[in-house]
Amino acid sequence: IAEVFGERQVGSSTMPHKRNPINFENVKSLYKECMPRMVTRYLDQISEHQRDLTNSASSRFVPEIIAALYLSAQRLTKVMSRLVVDKEALSKNFLLTGDMVAAEPMYILLAFYGHPDAHEYVRKKTLESQKTGRPLHELVLGDRKVQPYCAKLTPVQKAILKDPGKYRGIAAQKAERVCTFWKKRLVEFSEPCAKGPEKS
């Protein structure tokens, strides 16, 4: 996953082949500048409570934090709309791990169906798989010691263990839910801001 790079866009001043994510780097840079200032804001709360003036000078920098947040949001909005996904590279990286990705759902399912030490059992099987080159699911599903637990696996669960690419759960639906929630909240927040202050 990366930013779209233009033909004339320069990545690194020393390495011509390198593609620096300049927009994300800029946002992180602003974060590093503002994060310590937020500590000052929290310290200023003591001043509010004590009703003294030790927050008088430090409060003058609050607008800079707001401006940095605004600039960061602008920059992120711009770059997020131009992200590209290299599905081929993602698939290649996923396949590099073999079926080791299935180790997590495997131990969870074995524990769910009553195995007393599923995590340790699967850990040892991953080592055996790496040493012998045999697929992890074959080693586990073919092991007589765990047959009482494997017999309880549903067809869908077995399919996940054999093809970790199916191990997604409800991640997509949850991501959609989170995005929908925050889009709604941002609209609720931005409408009063767009109107400006109410006249008394």
The reported pLDDT for the residue numbered 200 is 58
Beta bridge partners of 84: 2
pLDDT digits (tens, 9 = 90+) for 42-72: 999 998 888 898 899 999 999 999 999 999 9
The one-letter amino acid code at 77 reads T
Low-confidence residues of the chain: pLDDT under 70 = 11, 196-200
Write the DSSP symbol of residue 114.
Answer: T
Alpha helices in the chain (DSSP H): 22-50, 62-80, 87-96, 103-112, 118-132, 136-141, 147-150, 155-162, 171-195
The reported pLDDT for the residue numbered 192 is 75
The reported pLDDT for the residue numbered 199 is 66
Catalogue all structural domains in the chain, each as residue range(s) with its CATH number: 2-84 (no CATH), 98-200 (1.10.40)
The reported pLDDT for the residue numbered 75 is 92
The reported pLDDT for the residue numbered 190 is 78
Predicted TM-score (pTM) of the model is 0.60
